[in-house]
Chains A and B, each alone.
Chain A
Amino acid sequence: MSVHITSPDFKANARKALADAPLQQALAKVGPGFIGKRAAAADKLPEFKALRDSARDIKNHTLAHLDLYLERFETKARAAGGHVHFAVDAAQARDIVLDICRQLGAKTVTKGKSMISEEIALNDHLEANGIEPVETDLGEYLIQIRGEGPSHIIAPAIHLNKEQVEADFRRVHADLPPERNLSEPTALLAEARGKLRERFLAADVGITGANFLVAETGTSIIVTNEGNGDLTQTLPKAHIVLASLEKLVPTLEDVSQLLRVLARSATGQEMSVYTTFSTGPRRADDLDGPGEYHVVILDNGRSGMLAGQFREMLRCIRCGACMNHCPVYHAVGGHAYGWVYPGPMGAVLTPSLIGIEKGRNLPNASTFCGRCEQVCPVRIPLPKLMRNWREKEFERHLTPATQRYGLAFWAFFARRGWLYRPATRAAMAVLALAGKARGRFSKLPLAGGWTQYREFPAPEGGTFQAQWAARTSAQKSAR
């Protein structure tokens, strides 16, 4: 898959997505599916809100002591026979992985789902160097055979319909009888299971992500429903874990708190099917398990986030609840965001990782309805952080000229109350008069961007300030 960044073209991407009928059909299922399941799971656990506070506090504590927990993790993982590698950027991480694969003479690697792998565009790098990567999470497998990137951080193929999957399977699994029936999702799943089972057993190296790294024990954790991550890491000669700095948590008790909010927020499950804690390679008398265990810890811009107002974003545990509840995501899907992290969390994280110059559209792709913050299991104030990005964008003169002039024009009046009040009063009166008959406008000068998609309600009375003044004086006289 290719991960060239199209975030600067968000508007064009969004327009394309809105006109894409199969995509719209798939997106229509996102909200109804995820929102209800999360709400039901949260309602079943009276302590859910308290657990979210606990999760936030654990992450805050860890981030404030991150250097020390990293040291502890490294020491414990090495003591268990594992290798720990640090990568400053994506290129270093790719080379570390390639190097391990080459040392083992690897021809194929199986992969569990990893957003870090997407972030560093690992598959392209392995392929370019003669190593075949095989994605084994069903959703990741689907997008790999289509040459696409993920459109969701936990449901990477959520933009696809089963008819598209059937067509891809017929194209890629050409050795199977063409007359086979693939009309039901069960048949598609069974075919993928059969095809990937061969790959699991043949792979030389298994690469997974990590939901968490535990400093206490030097352990990496993956959470899956399919069991693909477990097969990926158990069967080959080596298990490589790709993780970023902020995956650290102090103890097994701390991670248990986080696990109580992760699955509920993500899929509405009480607990995902497989939560696997891996510590080092296979032990001396073990009968199975990988002979080598490597953890690659990636920075790629995250340490810089620790310093500023975006540190809170590093609490993110990648549950996807923010995008599942986002009206913008529901409308345009994940690919429109133009890089690996979509939705509200992507709107904050992407500019941090690729720069505000390329990512400036994303924090603007929000209605600020605030649902993302309401459901975030670690209480990241996503709207506030998007607003911070908008301010930075303005300060750095990245905002388009029309917006800047518009704001300057408004600011000129707003700073001069003696001018602003009569001017707005007059404008309201004109609008109220002009819109009296219909109560709304379908066209307005200078507001074409608004009226192209929806009508503008006609004002019914005085300005807000005039009404406020009238109300306060009425209250005073009533006393």
Chain B
Amino acid sequence: MTSSSSDHSSRDVVFASVRRALGVNGAEAPRRQAVADRIAGHPEGVIPARAQLPADEQIALFKAMVEAAAATLVHLPDAAAVPGAVAAYLRARNLPMSILRGADPRLAGLPWQDEPALDVWIGPSDGRQLAGLSHAFAGIAESGTVVMLSGPDNPSTLNLLPDHHLVVVDARDVTGTYEEVWTRIRAAYGPGTLPRTVNWITGPSRSADIEQTLLLGAHGPRSLHVLLVGEMPAGEA
């Protein structure tokens, strides 16, 4: 950057004025320890009781909250039923029998041959596809949110550009709280590290910017359809 030298002095000015205002020099051991402890311990704070339910109630809450956010949901017995459910969704809405999905092995391994009329494309979206399919990392019962991680398997554009976003959520990945998701992401990516994009999506795109009238389908998908797959083993919530 051409501005790097001025950036650098600006940085020093900002840090100096913050420290002057706080009356510190930045080297105080107790302060540094407090910060290190908070990052390492990442304490949870207040967790709503509604997010700490037994397995079956947690799944029921997830379904109810997804629908309260104006998304739709079908509960399938297992992942093998996904291609049929995708085809049924498109047919019911009179959409072209075509879907764009990520390369996620959990989607690649499904029996797409069972739906010969359905064209399945793989890759990111360039805005021309009406329907996209991706696999969620998790679902959150507390608010009916699906958690999407960016990467070669699930490009972010699939979440945003198609009019209809279909999301597969494995029932075993439905957590009660946001915090459980962070625990799982830390386990998968290591502490202090995230994929480029973590999208929490709660319902389809909307706007109330014209006279506070809530309308669906602002810039993102007009419809969000959750394909919940399988059961959560009892006692796992």
Contact = CB atoms under 8 A, between A and B. Distances in A.
Q: Do A and B share a complex?
A: yes
Interface of A: 26, 29-30, 33, 45-47, 50-51, 53-54, 58, 61, 64-72, 76, 80, 83, 85-88, 92, 95-96, 99-100, 103, 136-139, 142, 155-158, 160-162, 165, 185-186, 188-190, 193, 196-197, 200-201, 215-217, 219, 225-228, 230-231, 234-235, 245, 250-254, 256-257, 259-260, 267, 269-283, 285-289, 297, 299, 303-307
Contacts of A68: 26, 31-32, 35
A240 to B, nearest CB: 12
29 contacts: A29-B212, A99-B2, A142-B209, A155-B212, A161-B211, A185-B210, A189-B215, A197-B127, A197-B219, A217-B192, A226-B205, A227-B220, A235-B157, A250-B42, A254-B42, A256-B45, A269-B202, A270-B143, A270-B144, A271-B143, A274-B202, A275-B145, A279-B193, A286-B152, A286-B196, A288-B156, A289-B150, A299-B14, A303-B14
Contacts of B160: 227, 230-231, 234
Contacts of A190: 217
A272 B123 contact: no
A267 B208 contact: yes
Interface in B1-45: 1-3, 6-7, 10-11, 13-15, 17-24, 26, 31-32, 34-35, 38-39, 42-45
B32 A231 contact: no
A156 B212 CA distance: 11
B194 A217 contact: yes
Given A85-B3, A282-B196, A158 B212 contact: yes
B166 interface: no
A274 B207 contact: no
Contacts of B143: 270-271
A259 B213 CA distance: 24
Nearest to B17: A303
A86 B208 contact: no
A220 B160 CA distance: 19
Interface string B189-224: 000111111111111111111111101011111000
Given A277-B197, A279-B195, A225 B206 contact: yes
Contacts of B144: 270-271
B85 to A, nearest CB: 23
A220 to B, nearest CB: 11
Interface string B105-116: 000000000000
A220 B103 CA distance: 27
B84 interface: no
A138 B206 CA distance: 10
A273 B205 contact: yes
B201 A274 contact: yes
B160 to A, nearest CB: 5
Given A54-B45, A142-B209, A231 B182 contact: no
Contacts of A297: 14
